Amino acid sequence: MYQLDEKIYFYGLLVIPVLVFLFLMLSLWKKNRQRYFANPELLKKLSPDRSVFKPVLKLILLSLVLACISIALVNPKIGTKLETVKREGVDIVFAIDVSKSMAAEDIAPSRLEKAKRIASEIINSLASDRIGIIAYAAKAYPQLPITTDYSAAKMFLQNMNTDMMSSQGTAISDAIKLAKTYYDDQDQTNRVLFIISDGEDHEQNVSEAVEEARNEGIKIFTIGIGDVNGAPIPLRYNGVIQSYKKDGNGDVVMTKLDEAMLRSIAEEGDGGYINGSNTDDVIEFVKDALDKMDKTEFEAKQFADFKDQFQWFIAGAILFLFLDFFLLERKTAWLRKLNLFNEKSDEDER
């Protein structure tokens, strides 16, 4: 396990491509200016010991110095001590709709991106709760089992997209049934399922799945994503919209937020419904719902001690600076012997 203290310093790495660009521009300028001074053959005779290889090597060393300094400022840490701690919280499962209708852009930047942002913001607001993630379209698939690793959860969220499922459709009942397998303690009373979707469902047995979940103590909350007026489903190629999804008659398919369906699921699931257009409102809604629930104590393993690793990168920067300091732009004896660029000496030419 590792931690990064100051991720903002990774932006320092952007200096390296700028440095490379300036080096190339300077080299080109020098080459053009030298043509006005003398022809290439005369320049070789005037500066026979000038190395073409060493300036490039010096640039590489300087880039490595900057990279090491940037990473050292980020201060990476490695976990060195794993211990088990007791925590109190709620077990939360996110079931996120990744069907093609979630690609609609009636809510910026798209329904799915909005759903991912809401889930991520909810995770940021949690303290000691455990979370799991399910993705569903025509079928439901587990993405992340119940865990306290919030960083891993957000990583899985970012990788979710509408192309990750080969079969399309919307099977909310499958997501609910799969969520039931996520809760491992039979005595738990703090089971929560958040369904984040546009509400379009192509199955008829949702009520049955909701009832089974409620009987097992799972509270179901639904978050609606989209516009009730509807929007077309864009078909993209290489990130560019090529056309919109059409039905068998050639008409553009309009996908609408089905709030009635989501409200019904939430009411039957002893939870609540909220429209996801305002993220702050959703976070307040979630906090209020979780605060009213009993917290269950559970054990969790976590790293309790982290050791700084910045000193290794500082040492690397010093080493590369030391090498750069003693590296002149003139050819040395060992470089002459290597003859990296098949350069002929004056004696060979004679």
Say yes or no: 260 and 137 in one domain. Answer: yes
| Cis bond before residue 234 (omega within 30° of 0) | no
Say yes or no: 271 and 188 in one domain. Answer: yes
pLDDT given at position 78: 79
Say yes or no: 55 and 88 in one domain. Answer: no
Say yes or no: 172 and 36 in one domain. Answer: no
Q: What is the number of domains present in the chain?
A: 2
Cβ proximity of 27 and 20 under 8 Å: no
Say yes or no: 89 and 122 in one domain. Answer: yes
Count of H helices and E strands in the chain?
A: 12, 13
Say yes or no: 14 and 92 in one domain. Answer: no
CA 322 from centroid of its chain's CA atoms: 37
CA proximity to 310, closest of 73, 135, 62, 88: 73
Say yes or no: 147 and 245 in one domain. Answer: yes
CA proximity to 53, closest of 332, 338, 340: 340
pLDDT given at position 41: 67
Domain residues for 54? Answer: 2-75+309-349
pLDDT in tens, 188-211: 568 899 999 998 866 667 899 999
Report how far residue 281's alpha carbon sits from residue 81's, in angstroms, rounded to the nearest whole number: 39
Mean pLDDT of the chain: 82
Say yes or no: 227 and 185 in one domain. Answer: yes
Say yes or no: 54 and 100 in one domain. Answer: no
Residue type present at position 147: T
Say yes or no: 95 and 42 in one domain. Answer: no
Q: Give the pair of three-digit tokens for residue 233.
A: 């489903």
Say yes or no: 322 and 283 in one domain. Answer: no
Instruction: Specify the CATH number for the domain of residue 118.
Output: 3.40.50.410
Report how far residue 132's alpha carbon sits from residue 150's, in angstroms, rounded to the nearest whole number: 10
Considering the entire predicted model, what is its pTM?
A: 0.63
Which segments of the chain are extended strands (E)? 2-4, 76-89, 91-97, 130-136, 140-147, 191-197, 218-224, 231-232, 234-237, 240-244, 254-255, 273-275, 296-308
pLDDT given at position 349: 46
Say yes or no: 325 and 274 in one domain. Answer: no
Residues of the chain with pLDDT below 50 are 341, 345-350
DSSP 345: P
DSSP states along 69-110: HHHHHH-EEEEEEEEEEEEEE-EEEEEEE-SGGGG--SSSS-
Q: From the CB of residue 168, how many other CB atoms can be counted at a distance below 10 Å? A: 13
pLDDT given at position 248: 82
pLDDT given at position 122: 95
